[in-house]
Structure formats: C-alpha cells, structure tokens
Amino acid sequence: MTQSTEQDRVLIFDTTLRDGEQSPGATMTLEEKLEIARMLDEMGVDIIEAGFPIASEGDFEAVSRIARQTRNAVVCGLARANPADIDRAWEAVQHAQRPRIHTFIGTSPTHREITQLDMDRMAERIYETVSHARNLCDNVQWSPMDATRTETDYLLRVCEIAIAAGATTINIPDTVGYTAPRESADIIRMLRDKVPGAQDVIWATHCHNDLGMATANSLAAVEAGARQVECTINGLGERAGNTALEEVVMALRVRNDIMPYRTGVDSRKIMQISRRVAAVSGFQVQYNKAIVGKNAFAHESGIHQDGMLKNAETFEIMRPEDVGLTETNLVMGKHSGRAALRAKLKDLGFELGDNQLKDVFVRFKALADRKKEVYDDDLIALMADSTSAGEGLVQVKFLRVICGTEAPQSADLTLTIDGEDRQVTTQGDGPIDAVFNAIRKLVPHEARLALYQVHAVTEGTDAQATVSVRLEEDGRISSAQASDTDTVVASAKAYVGALNRLIVKHKRTTEATLYSA
C-alpha cells in the first residue's frame, strides 16, 4: 500500500558530500563532488548537504558550484554557531534555486564544556546565530549536536529557542551512535509534544552507526513523527558511518504495509550511485552490505537456489531491478566500439564526456587485449582506476619487478612527477615492498601505510586485481584504489593515487590555515 498524502512524505537529506566525506581517507575531488551531486539530484534526493564552506577554499568552491548546477534539490551548507561561518555558508549557497543554511552547536554537557559556554550563554548564542541565518535565508536548519546525550529539559529549551529564532527544520543528531530505536522514537515524540511551535517545523533525524543501529534508529524516529532522514550513500561516514540512504529508501518501500511513508527517490538509480561513491571515495562496499552489497542478491545455499528457481519471492523480498541491478554480464570485448562502451558505462552509472570517453576507451582496449572476457565488474574497476588513481601530480609511467625464491626482490620504477620523468631501482622484502620503497625514494614523504588490501574483481587467472591503499601523515588520511591484471602494477598505481590525494589534503590544510589567519 502506498500512501499519497503529503504528511506521509519523508524527505531524504543526503550528506555524503559533507559528513560522508569526513570519513578518514574519503576525500573527493571537485569534479567528483559535482558528479555525485548531479546523480543525487537526478535520483530525487530532497536536500543535498554539499559541504562545510568555511573549512577551506576548496570546500567553498565545491558548495558554490553544486548550488549553481543543482536543479531540483535544496542545496545546504553547514555552519558552526558564529556569524563568520553562517555568512560564508550563505555566500556559497545563495545562488541555488533552493538554498538552505544548516547551523549547529554541541548541546550535551561534554560539548558545552569544550565550548566553555554555560547553558544560558549557549542559549543566547543559539538565538543570535539562528536569527542571523534566518535574516539571510528563509530556509534554516538547526541541530543540537550530540542531542541524544543532552539533558531532556535543556534539549526542550534550546529547540524552543531555535524555533522562535526562525529555524524551519530542527534536526536531532545522534552524533556518536549512542541511542537505540525506542529511545530515538521517544525523543522525537517528546519534542513534538512539548516544544512550543513544534507543529510549524520539520523534525529530522541524523544517526550514526557506532552500535549498528543507525537505520533502525532513523526509521523509529520517522514512526514517531520525524519527516526528514539524514543519510549517506553506502552509509559512508565517520567511524562506523551514517544511516545508509539505500536502506532507508528500500525499507520504506518494501515494508510500506507497516511504515506507510514515501520518499521521492528513484530507487532504480541506487546501484549506480552506490558504485560511483565507492569508486570516488576509495571505500569498497562490503559484500554482505544490505541492498548494494555484491552478495545482496546472490544465493549459494542449495535450498535457497531451489526456492529461487521455483519462485524468486521465496528468498527475495525485493527485485534486483528495483535498485537498478541488471542481469547483464559478459557483453564487452576487444571488438566493441566506443559507442557500445559509452552505452554500457551509462547503464553502470557513468556519464562520460567525449574527452573522458577517449581516455577510458584506450584503457578498455588495453584491458580487453589482456582479458578474454570483460565483465561489468571489470568496467566498474576500470572506472575506479581512472578516477581514483589516474589524476594528480605523480603518475606511474614504467614498472618492472624481479621476484622469486632465489632472486633479489627489486623494482625498477619510473614516475612522472609534475611533468618530469624520474627513475629509480630499489630492493625490498618482496615485490610490493620494493615498489613502495621506490615510490618513497622518488617522492620523499613520512606517510605511514595504514591499509593495503587486494581482492580479485572477477574469477579466473586473468582477473583484474583491485588494490586499496590508505596513507596517514600528521593526522591526514588519504585512500585510493587501482585495478590491473598485474597486482604489482595495481599496487603502485593505488599507492601513487593515495599519495596524490595526500598532497591535495596538505594544500587544503594550508589554504584553511591561511584563510583563518
């Protein structure tokens, strides 16, 4: 049963580009952010939180350009509770067709201690800053950060103040993933019942997944009256992540009998954007992830397979095509042309310009020459390689390794660094160590290798390997993925990709320091 009344509409607020990008190592480039924002807008997301404009010049530019390009969704910029942040957020979002300022302050005892504000002074700050935001923009969202650990009486008080100051949406964040479904519902219900003016605003929920209950907590809040859910694609986010957009959307669709609420999201676009976010963020989706995991629609048990053959509904509560998962597999090869590749990539969620297609087509042909069979997952890996590890100051030009039980483990590596080719030969404890030693020698840095992970994209001895690398230096973390039929080559490209992103992060930090000064 699908409800059509407006009061049963749940707004989807996507914060992949803001809270999701804060996940360690998930930094996206400007062009990647613009692409993800376009996909979010096209799939029917109601609000896109595009970033934190005052954080850096790069963040400001991303929010500003997303605001200008977005056609349907509200575009939101985040701001702390001070005039400078709010002014900067408005400057970034003001050209959107539907702009919003989202301002917040930590209201729990722990956060009040950090800000050195007592209850009364914080209450004054909330009224002043929300009023300031409302004087700039008629769509203002306010959040009491760490709301689920804020004293009940004080939470009631500050929400009343924010509404009186002009907030149009009140968001209740479970900032550290502390709450549980019953409590999440009780908080929303209490606020709607006891806060004066509660009927005049939209109540929102923002949950983190530290205890694995983010989606359950969000849905419980909806049942209690929240009509906006803050979430991210693939559940991307700090620590254990945020509420996953795809889980909320599909839960409301599949169990509409007990949760009669609707969203405006086209669920058939879920798989495309899931793959794209995984590619640009460098965060692989776990195989058993609900809705978008590789095994979400796979059946290996004999009993399950028999049931599926007789009736798909035996063990599937939703159809793969409901989330945009196609049944196609082997359709591309070395004789496939550019038009066929463009069409296939579009089916997989990749919209390419002519110049992009030209570059990817060369890579595709090289891959097709090395592999007899090119699968969908091979193409997705190819695109991840093109975007995650294919740009930046440093490029892999040539690599040759010597390895084995007797021979010394060595790597002969040539990198193109800022347009100049540089070569070195080094040894290491195995071929990967030798390659990474070579990179460190050509591009000196103190970054620590925090993660090195390899997995096969498809089956067979000619399968591509996708390598994930995460580097950490002075609190900055960057990740990248790369794919190749040669695992060592993929490793080199992934390391270089992460290094390039680390360089970008260093520049952003420098920009932010200069701006704040």
* Nearest to 272, CA basis, from 260, 264, 280: 280
How far CA 149 is from CA of 167, 183, 438, in Å, comes to 22, 11, 49
Number of neighbours of residue 285 by Cβ within 10 angstroms? 19
DSSP class of residue 4 equals -
Backbone CA torsion sign across 512, 76, 48, 71: negative
How many helices (H) does the chain have, and how many strands (E)?
A: 16, 14
CA 281 – CA 481 distance, rounded (Å): 9
Pull the structure tokens for residue 392.
């930046």
Please tell me whether 234 is known to bind a ligand: no
| 148 burial level (CB within 10 Å; 0-12, 13-18, 19+) | buried
User: Beta strand pairing status for 140-145 and 99-106?
Assistant: parallel
CA 119 – CA 111 distance, rounded (Å): 11
CA 247 – CA 317 distance, rounded (Å): 13
* Nearest to 85, CA basis, from 60, 122, 58, 49: 60
CA 297 to chain centre: 22
User: Beta strand pairing status for 448-456 and 228-231?
Assistant: unpaired
Please tell me whether 242 is known to bind a ligand: yes
Q: Is 454 helix (H, G, I), strand (E, B) or coil?
A: strand
CA 404 – CA 280 distance, rounded (Å): 35
Inter-residue contact 439 to 399 (CB < 8 Å): no
Residues in the chain: 517
Strands (E), 405-456: 410-417, 420-427, 448-456
CA 432 – CA 406 distance, rounded (Å): 16
Q: Which helix (H) or strand (E) holds 381?
A: helix 376-388
Inter-residue contact 140 to 169 (CB < 8 Å): yes
Pull the structure tokens for residue 384.
């991840």
DSSP class of residue 471 equals E
| Residues flagged as binding site | 19, 206, 208, 242
| Residues flagged as binding site for Mn(2+) | 19, 206, 208, 242
